[in-house]
A and B are shown apart, each in its own frame.
Chain A
Amino acid sequence: MQIDFEKREIQLKVVYYGPALSGKTTNLMAIHRRSAPSNRGHLMTLDTKDDRTLFFDLLPMHFETDSGLSIAIKVFTVPGQVIHNATRRLVLQGADSVAFIADSQVSETMANRESFMDLKRNLEENGLDIKGMPLVIQFNKRDLPNVRSDAEIDSLTSKGREPVFKASATRGEGVIETFMGLLRITWDRLNAWHDLEGKFHVSGDRIIESLNRQFSIEDPEA
């Protein structure tokens, strides 16, 4: 995080992590579609011919809140393929929070686990601890057959620590909820560390409300 007191601006870096083909880039594309042109920059995506992210995606966003505080957010995705670990580690550097995009399909359970273990390793190698990292988990691809059941996810969620969201990124469902959930816990964690609310005389609730209003309700492609 970078803070510019003079401009009343906070810059955040959030990273979308997860196994290959879990829908991280699709999440970013949906966020891009649902945000007002004035709030979003160019979505930079490097696509290879088989639709996998080669290096990473970057979506820069900028919000003016009612409190007069500007929030600039750089949203990154990492390449999920196992061989691109160096890129994943690099992208994770200086991250303020992580959204873990899991694939809901039963057959991908092991891939989700391995990717989460990979996230923990890469955080450790960057000198970060998963305990201190704001993290949300999204179970994507809820629209597909053979996915893990709602009851099962709910039961595990109730025993876990992180907020869990269900989504279908191709339909734009659950994407903004995940993003806003991530921003909420990111704000709370950074506020706990840096007393942002005291220093800027703002309320976290109002900031999140303000950001929430800036996303259109309807997905133009839904």
Chain B
Amino acid sequence: MNPVEPIINASLGKLIDPDRFVQVLNGFRKMASVPIRLFDTEGNLLAESISDNPVCEYLNTLRGARSGCAVIRSRLKIVAPPRDRDVIDSIECFCGFQYKIAGIHYQAELIGKLVFGPYHPAEMECVPVEQGDIDPDLDMTRLLDIMAGVPKVSSGSVEQLVATIRAVIDVLLLSAHKAHVTSQMHLATVSESHRELTQKNRKLEDMAEERREFDIKKSNFLAMISHELRTPLTSIIGYSDMLTEGIAGNLAQEQKQFVQTIKAKGDELLKLISSILDFSKVDSGHLTVEPRLVDVGEVVNNAIDRSRENADRRGIGLSVDFPGDLPQARFDAEKIETAISHLIDNSIKFSDPGGVVKVSAQVFKPTEEDGSQDGFGFVLMASPDMLEISVEDFGVGIAQTDLFQIFEPFTQIDESSTREHGGAGLGLAIVKYYVEAHGGRVHVKSQSEKGSRFSIRLPLLTEEA
């Protein structure tokens, strides 16, 4: 679409509201005593002022004069206006009254005509008809009397009137044209934006599709690699276990220690692989939480069981403290169990051999900190009761300056190549994701060289959804 399509294609009748334009013409009719009519190029009458000329009224009572008037009217309808804007044509009535015909132009195109009259020309010296000329009943005395009552208009005044009305129409056409061009521009812009957006959408869809395919490939790769890594690891761990238990014959003490080390390292590797897989799910936005009513005590015990062997190996005692009447609560047991287990393993890792890690659980009334991460929406985020599961150790602790970064993925406080404690730095990041996905929070209190206490606080929702 050409945004500046010429307005001429639209008809004059559509550009000027004919019903309202009649009022404009009536105004000029009153001021100048000249009736005005507006035609389009097809000769269709669009607007007409009041015409109450008493001469015409009298002549129309006479049959002969009436037919003469009809001829003039049809001539006015079909006559072509002058193509030249500066020219005004004249037509004279048989009674001597005048009509002026002027073209309406826009951008050099003729788009309609104005007809002024009949008016009583000031320049008329005598009436060009005589008694009985037009109709046997024509009464010249009466005609002259009526004519004498009609104000005379000079041709100069009519020309001025033509110029004024043309100016009014020009303004209207310009406004209409501007509105037309503006709307065309808007349409063109919208259409262009639509085209652009469609193109961008297509690109985005293609990219999304590529990304989906890549995600599928990545997931498949991770699943495959995890399987490929886990299968031999399971064998390594399993056979190490059997060797330690003496199924293949008794081992010397030193041999037994070596095999136990192989198994311990295998377990560590298995946990690391599991962490990477868990984090890749979180990272790809595929983390889904499937809450259902579960036994809190059972979930905590399962998590402890998962870490017990690790604790035994490191010579760390696990102390458990929670009331026997812990209620059922609605959360994703697998995720929360994993989160607790990560916290316990973390505490074990940073405890000195012979130390103890305390795991406790309790139901308590919420505090301001439990509302949401930033304390906003407390009344919505907190439930009447909260569940707190804490894991406390008395190991190396964390300096206050390091506390802010411990939940960042791939972050370890000691990132040196000679660090004492291994790991990918994903455990606490996973804990945070899992707990916050439940609308809960992870709190930590720690002191260098004194130990740390991590608490998972979850709203205690006891209703099925």
Contact = CB atoms under 8 A, between A and B. Distances in A.
Given A137-B379, A156-B366, A130 B371 contact: no
A194 interface: no
Interface stretch (B107-115, B196-204, B301-309, B381-389): B381-389
B221 interface: no
B374 A116 contact: no
A137 B379 CA distance: 8
Interface string A91-117: 000000000101000110110111011
Interface string B33-60: 0000000000000000000000000000
A49 interface: no
B316 to A, nearest CB: 37
A130 B291 CA distance: 27
Identify whether the interface residues of A are mostly helix, strand, loop, or mixed: helix
Nearest to B465: A110
Given A106-B463, A152-B384, A159-B382, A120 B368 contact: no
In the complex, which of the residues B371, B377, B383 has the most CB atoms of chain A within 10 Å of its own CB atom?
Answer: B377
B374 A159 contact: no
Give me the 4 closest cross-chain CB pairs, A-B, nearest first: A160-B378, A156-B379, A116-B380, A116-B377
Contacts of A130: 374, 376-377
B353 interface: no
Interface string A146-159: 00000011011101
Interface residues of A, number: 27
Contacts of A201: none
A162 interface: yes
A100 B381 CA distance: 13
Contact of B380 (A112, A131, A159): A112
A153 B379 contact: yes
Contact of A159 (B330, B366, B459, B465): B366
Interface in A112-142: 112-114, 116-117, 119-120, 130-131, 135, 137
A153 B382 CA distance: 10
Interface of A: 100, 102, 106-107, 109-110, 112-114, 116-117, 119-120, 130-131, 135, 137, 152-153, 155-157, 159-162, 164
A135 B459 CA distance: 22
Contacts of B371: 159-161
Interface in B378-421: 378-384
Contacts of A120: 372, 376-377
A162 B367 contact: no
B375 interface: yes
B327 interface: no
Contacts of A135: 376-377
Given A113-B380, A156-B366, A161 B375 contact: yes
In the complex, which of the residues A120, A152, A164 has the most CB atoms of chain B within 10 Å of its own CB atom?
Answer: A120
A20 to B, nearest CB: 14
B379 A113 contact: no
